[in-house]
Structure 1
Amino acid sequence: MEGSRAGESGNDGNHTSHDPFHVKDPHRLAINFAYMLEEIGKVAGAWARARERGDTGTPIAGPLNDLLATLAKIVEYWRADQNRATEAQTRLISACLDIWTNSIRQMNGEFDENEPPQLETSRADRRFSDPDWERHPFFRFLKQIYLAAVRWAEQMVDEADNVDGELREKARFYVRQVMDAVSPSNFLLTNPVVVRETLQSNGENLIRGMRMFAEDLAAGNGALRLRQTDYSKFRLGENIATTPGKVVARSELAEIIQYEPATDTVYRRPLLVIPPWINKYYVLDLSPERSFVRWAVDQGHTVFMLSWVNPDERHAHLGWEDYASQGIGFALDTVQERTGETEINVVGYCIGGTLLAACLAAMAQEGDRRVATATFMASQVDFTHAGDLKHFVTEEQIALLEAAMQAKGYLDGTTMATVFNVLRARDLLWPYVVNNYLLGKDPPPFDLLYWNSDSTRMTPANHIYYLRTFYLENALAQGRATLRGRTLSLADVKIPVYTVSAADDHISPARSVFVGAKLFGGPVTHVMGGSGHIAGIINPPAANKYGFRTAPLDAATFEEWRESATFTQGSWWLHWNDWLVAQDGDRVPARHLDPDGSYLADAPGTYVLVRG
């Protein structure tokens, strides 16, 4: 019975049709559908067993409730006036009837030069790239109906007069999520690629897909751990995170890695990098040709990396103050001790930059001048325009998270991974659902997606403080945040600052980074790179991709700054390095790691190896 599953397609018998939607072997297709149902039973079993154990992850019901409440306010506007509601319904029905009429004409070989043009997606939208979405009448009809519904739903939000700007932006986000979820490209019978594969393989793709689905549910303990790449192709320290170095210090929260120099002389000021503790530091040390760390070492910098612990219940009590002292404070002490230098260049990425900004404001009051320059990569300090993630941060959701985290001692990594995937569901969720579970194909190896899947846990004390203080209260920007008993003001940070945003960043939006850059009290160089939160930052010069924009920070609005900015092709890394060297380009003999020295571990260290 097992031998007749995937891998035995049978033959076509007497069928000679070249129609890709022709059923080759109805008998084999029926049998494989039965096997698929058996695999679905295993999926249900994996889901049920996790709930019997009570191991169902952290609840994220808040966003669902907020979605319903938000869209209800849009519906309320249209239902309040019967004429308005009728007009809206007529608009959608009319568009669908036009599409139906045009489809019938095209099926009969009739073409009207005056008929309205077909709705199209952007070039970046790959969902409908297969030729059968256009050449096959049924799938072309589905696509047009779907795109008409999307346009109509977006118009309903944009034309609702009873909502403020913030609610409208949230409604746009939720509508986009819902419409992306119901796209015909996501379903077995409405995606021509899946239908062709199912018929040509006699359903073996669905058996493989459901088997992968069950495996991914089991791997996530009842929550779907969607595989986005082939994990077996990567080994930390072997083909990813390979820049040579040693762990030279370790605290309860962080390991400090010092990298071996690649030049005979190095810049006097060492370079300390503070990554986010959501995911792991090696996004900055991916495969050698994409590694920011390796590139910085090659430019002559003595690079130190902070690698955060992947916390568990033992770390539940560690909060914002601990991350500042045992993280950044500990790292600065280590760099000073290792190099003897009292002036250090520091880079903060994403939330690591937010923590760095708070530390710098406290250090300015304390008279601690060790940080000579600060670079903020896609880091927010003003959360007024905090992007789509803000829609998930409500009092209701924070209360749910806090209760679950206190009971467990940490936020499991699957929860945050799911949230980030949902934020960009069209790119990070639905394509893999189709590829993995409907087409039954393993995703190809990709270092960035391997890192993206290597999720981390978070401590209750730190995560809840961060969500409330920054996303809900925006306390740092408003001068109300505290650290080490001091009320913080970013205007006290008067050292040279370099801020870089990414044009399409959905986590730290370019507008948000621009507004925050204006809060620092010293000279600020502001740059906007291309692409998104990761690709816009991890943009090695050799790739010559995206480009970046530069302009003085004196523009009143982000739009004015963007219009006045000068565009340069290529990576912003070169521009940043020139800026950094201009602050102090003095060089000293390379600081080599003693091969016989006593170190805690080889890079990439031990904390980074703990899976979430």
Structure 2
Amino acid sequence: MTTSDLVEDAAGHPQLAKLEQNMARIEALTQRVMAAFAHKRHVPEALQGPSQELYMKAAMAYWNEAAANPAKLFEQQIAYWGKTLTHFAEAQAALAKGTLEAPEDHTPEDRRFSNPMWKTNPYFNMIKQQYLINSEALAKGVEEIEGISDLERKRLKYFGAQVVDMMCPTNFLPTNPDALERAIETEGQSLIDGLENLVRDLEAHDGELVVSLADGSAFKLGENIGTSKGEVVFRNHMFELIQYTPTTDQVRDIPIVLFPPWINKFYILDLKEKNSLVKWIVDQGYTLFIVSWVNPGPAMRDTSLNDYIEDGYRTAMREVKSICGTETINAVGYCIAGTTLSLTLSRMKQQGDTSVGSATFFTTLTDFSDQGEFSVFLTDDFVDGIEAEVNRTGVLESFYMARTFSYLRSRDLIYQPAIKSYMMGETPPAFDLLYWNGDGTNLPAKMAVEYLRGLCQKNKFADGGFELAGDVLKIDEVDVPLCAIACETDHIAAWHASYAGVQQMGSKDKTFILSESGHIAGIVNPPSKGKYGHYTNPDMSGSADAWKAGAVRNDGSWWPRWGAWLAERSGEMVPARTPGDSTHPVLCSAPGTYVAAAPLEGE
């Protein structure tokens, strides 16, 4: 029987007819899904998961332990069997009452299972409880494996958890009550909309499943996002330099040049007026410049960290000094841009260049001895794979970085958005932060390998010195007055590691601030929100935990505290500066052209 036959049979039942029509549309969309998968991009095996060596070593350790201590293996299995049989018996007993009630549920709260049916419906409750029992057994089994290193255990726990999260019953239509209820309510329209969302995402990413987190049509740079007034006053092959239009009659003499990470784009600091750090800095009476990095393509395969330092940082500093007529500037580096700012300051120290009067570091790592959650991706199996891929293509594509960041928070950045978009048929939200998160950039091949090998893996900057273009750059040569802001729940640049790096710097004038929240929300935290507080403690002589134990918690944003710190190092008030000068004509208005340009092509 064909779909048309079913529709004809359902002619007397409007709701059934509508459902069958939607089923026919599903068939057509399914063909588009299969066509998109047929053109799926090639992802090297080395970048799809850890090497088989990790699993083989874990398996050998497990069976060796089973042979040496079989009682432990039986204890684990019996505990698992016991919980499973108890759960089954309780479910059977509840059903035997004839009331179709679920058994008593003592499982912990989990927002994935917020629908009441997970507790009240015996079918869904049975599935949920068994899933959680299975998850617990797997986690405990990994935790108790002996004969492997701490890093290997950490990697097994991480990748094991990824498998467990992937198999969560909420990720499948037949075992997701929210999606099933929505499908019935909409006569199947939610499934149609979901498939259309799925097809759109697959076709937009060469058959690779990349979940859209935000409605891309809702934002346009310079119109409703990245709208602070300014002008591009300098451009080279590495960056555009944006000088923002003053909003006060007078400004501090010493200008600020802010270096954002080139893994993402600068407008995270200028999403919209009410949470724009750019606008806030300008409103405090500062001349602010921001570097907008070019998005590298294969033509930039040989661009190195040294190029970022010389053609990026030091060139920007030189042009800012020229425009403002000052001998010094105040520099700010965010994330990897803070790491590279510290390398730049080491070289400048060696060369006697005193252009930087103070440095501010946002969520910056300079000591990589504690790699945090990223340690699972920084072993040779992954880094070897990355090196091979960038040597082939010329760049580390934003696709790989975005996927890595997403899997560090897979429930929030993969599975929940996928459920809402593909099973519930919801349109991705018009959320500026998520829109920015999806607007990634590539990394040049040479620079990516230098960063991963020399800094992340070998920790050369903090341990012996990082060799770069004939220089040996060292962390203790960073001796300018500095202020470092770390974030308490940052999963990218763990605050303990950030503190350790600042502690080793040679500056006599150090301020360390710990903001509540994470890598983005802890930085983009305007005073008007009154949301996240911050910790301060002038004593950095002890460990990070000792610093936190002795710190004072302060309500509200750290921005005003930093502003007061910066004011003391920014000179007297002078008449406000309009963007550019006679030798730096305005090239275009902010946010510039590089922020929206496609990657540079070339061999």
Taking structure 1 as the reference length, the TM-score comes to 0.89
Q: Which residue of 2 aligns with 1:382?
A: 367
Q: CA deviation at 1:519?
A: 1.3
**Cα distance change, pair 129–363 in 1 and its aligned pair in 2 (3 A):** same
The CA distance in 1 between the partners of 2:580 and 2:316, in whole Å, is 20
Q: CA deviation at 1:289?
A: 1.1
Secondary structure class of the residue paired with 2:395? coil
Q: Which residue of 2 aligns with 1:548?
A: 534
Structure 1 position 265 matched with structure 2 position 231: no
Q: CA deviation at 1:86?
A: 1.4
Q: Which residue of 2 aligns with 1:20?
A: none
8 Å contact from structure 1 (residues 350, 508) kept in 2:
yes
Q: Which residue of 2 aligns with 1:102?
A: 90
Q: Which residue of 1 aligns with 2:185?
A: 200
The farther-off stretch of 548-557 and 477-486 is 548-557
| Structure-to-structure mapping, 1:31-110, within 5 angstroms | 32-50=22-40, 55-56=41-42, 61=47, 63-65=49-51, 68-69=55-56, 72=59, 75-76=62-63, 79-80=66-67, 81-107=69-95
The CA distance in 2 between the partners of 1:74 and 1:536, in whole Å, is 41
**Cα distance change, pair 446–92 in 1 and its aligned pair in 2 (3 A):** same
Structure 1 position 358 matched with structure 2 position 352: no
8 Å contact from structure 1 (residues 57, 223) kept in 2:
no
Structure 1: tracts of 5 or more residues without a match: 5-9, 15-23
Secondary structure class of the residue paired with 2:243? strand
Structure 1 position 608 matched with structure 2 position 595: yes
Secondary structure class of the residue paired with 2:595? helix
**Cα distance change, pair 495–382 in 1 and its aligned pair in 2 (3 A):** same
**Cα distance change, pair 527–149 in 1 and its aligned pair in 2 (3 A):** farther
The residue type equivalent to 1:61 in the other structure is L
Q: Which residue of 2 aligns with 1:275?
A: 260
The CA distance in 1 between the partners of 2:450 and 2:518, in whole Å, is 26
2:269 paired residue among 284, 294, 298: 284
Structure 1 position 244 matched with structure 2 position 244: no
8 Å contact from structure 1 (residues 70, 171) kept in 2:
no
Q: Which residue of 1 aligns with 2:7?
A: none
Q: Which residue of 2 aligns with 1:401?
A: 386
**Cα distance change, pair 108–261 in 1 and its aligned pair in 2 (3 A):** farther
Q: CA deviation at 1:539?
A: 1.0
8 Å contact from structure 1 (residues 253, 327) kept in 2:
yes
Q: Which residue of 2 aligns with 1:128?
A: 113
Q: CA deviation at 1:173?
A: 1.8
**Cα distance change, pair 74–573 in 1 and its aligned pair in 2 (3 A):** farther
| Structure-to-structure mapping, 1:467-506, within 5 angstroms | 467-506=452-491
Q: CA deviation at 1:109?
A: 6.5
Secondary structure class of the residue paired with 2:396? coil
Secondary structure class of the residue paired with 1:361? helix
The CA distance in 2 between the partners of 1:60 and 1:419, in whole Å, is 13
Q: Which residue of 2 aligns with 1:514?
A: 499
The CA distance in 2 between the partners of 1:447 and 1:510, in whole Å, is 26
Q: CA deviation at 1:255?
A: 0.8
Q: CA deviation at 1:133?
A: 2.2
Deviations 1:109-156 (A, max 9, x none): 799xxx9971213xxx53222222223232233222222333332222
Q: CA deviation at 1:452?
A: 0.5
1:446 paired residue among 431, 435, 438: 431
Secondary structure class of the residue paired with 2:568? helix
State the superposition RMSD in angstroms.
2.6
Deviations 1:232-279 (A, max 9, x none): 110000111111111111111111111011111111111111111101
Q: CA deviation at 1:30?
A: 5.3
1:569 paired residue among 540, 551, 555: 555
Q: Which residue of 2 aligns with 1:21?
A: none
**Cα distance change, pair 481–69 in 1 and its aligned pair in 2 (3 A):** farther
The farther-off stretch of 572-581 and 344-353 is 572-581
The farther-off stretch of 254-263 and 144-153 is 144-153
Deviations 1:191-220 (A, max 9, x none): 110111122223322222222222211211
The CA distance in 1 between the partners of 2:513 and 2:457, in whole Å, is 27
The CA distance in 2 between the partners of 1:107 and 1:398, in whole Å, is 53
The CA distance in 1 between the partners of 2:327 and 2:46, in whole Å, is 45
Structure 1 position 209 matched with structure 2 position 199: no
The farther-off stretch of 192-201 and 169-178 is 169-178
Q: Which residue of 2 aligns with 1:165?
A: 150
Q: CA deviation at 1:62?
A: 5.4
The residue type equivalent to 1:543 in the other structure is K
The farther-off stretch of 464-473 and 150-159 is 150-159
Secondary structure class of the residue paired with 2:26? helix
**Cα distance change, pair 76–427 in 1 and its aligned pair in 2 (3 A):** farther
Structure 1 position 591 matched with structure 2 position 577: yes
8 Å contact from structure 2 (residues 363, 485) kept in 1:
yes
**Cα distance change, pair 127–458 in 1 and its aligned pair in 2 (3 A):** same
Taking structure 2 as the reference length, the TM-score comes to 0.91
The residue type equivalent to 1:101 in the other structure is A
The residue type equivalent to 2:339 in the other structure is T
The CA distance in 2 between the partners of 1:340 and 1:59, in whole Å, is 54
The farther-off stretch of 254-263 and 153-162 is 153-162
The CA distance in 1 between the partners of 2:166 and 2:216, in whole Å, is 26
The CA distance in 2 between the partners of 1:550 and 1:390, in whole Å, is 28
Q: CA deviation at 1:323?
A: 0.8
The CA distance in 2 between the partners of 1:305 and 1:594, in whole Å, is 13
The farther-off stretch of 36-45 and 599-608 is 36-45
Secondary structure class of the residue paired with 1:433? helix
Q: CA deviation at 1:351?
A: 0.4
The CA distance in 2 between the partners of 1:589 and 1:258, in whole Å, is 16
**Cα distance change, pair 205–576 in 1 and its aligned pair in 2 (3 A):** same
The CA distance in 1 between the partners of 2:160 and 2:49, in whole Å, is 13
The residue type equivalent to 1:601 in the other structure is C
Q: CA deviation at 1:318?
A: 0.8
The CA distance in 2 between the partners of 1:550 and 1:77, in whole Å, is 50
Q: CA deviation at 1:499?
A: 1.3
Q: CA deviation at 1:408?
A: 2.2
The CA distance in 2 between the partners of 1:164 and 1:556, in whole Å, is 28
The residue type equivalent to 2:121 in the other structure is H
8 Å contact from structure 1 (residues 62, 394) kept in 2:
no
Deviations 1:374-433 (A, max 9, x none): 111111011122222231223232332223222322222222211211121111111111
The residue type equivalent to 1:82 in the other structure is P
Q: CA deviation at 1:319?
A: 1.0
8 Å contact from structure 2 (residues 243, 580) kept in 1:
no
| Structure-to-structure mapping, 1:455-466, within 5 angstroms | 455-466=440-451
8 Å contact from structure 1 (residues 362, 484) kept in 2:
no
**Cα distance change, pair 11–337 in 1 and its aligned pair in 2 (3 A):** farther
The farther-off stretch of 31-40 and 412-421 is 31-40
The CA distance in 1 between the partners of 2:375 and 2:549, in whole Å, is 27
**Cα distance change, pair 598–583 in 1 and its aligned pair in 2 (3 A):** closer
8 Å contact from structure 2 (residues 105, 119) kept in 1:
no
8 Å contact from structure 2 (residues 233, 580) kept in 1:
no
Secondary structure class of the residue paired with 1:429? helix
8 Å contact from structure 1 (residues 259, 304) kept in 2:
yes
The residue type equivalent to 1:91 in the other structure is A
8 Å contact from structure 2 (residues 323, 581) kept in 1:
no
Q: Which residue of 2 aligns with 1:580?
A: 566
The residue type equivalent to 1:102 in the other structure is E
**Cα distance change, pair 537–358 in 1 and its aligned pair in 2 (3 A):** same
Structure 1 position 367 matched with structure 2 position 352: yes
**Cα distance change, pair 11–587 in 1 and its aligned pair in 2 (3 A):** farther
8 Å contact from structure 2 (residues 50, 381) kept in 1:
no
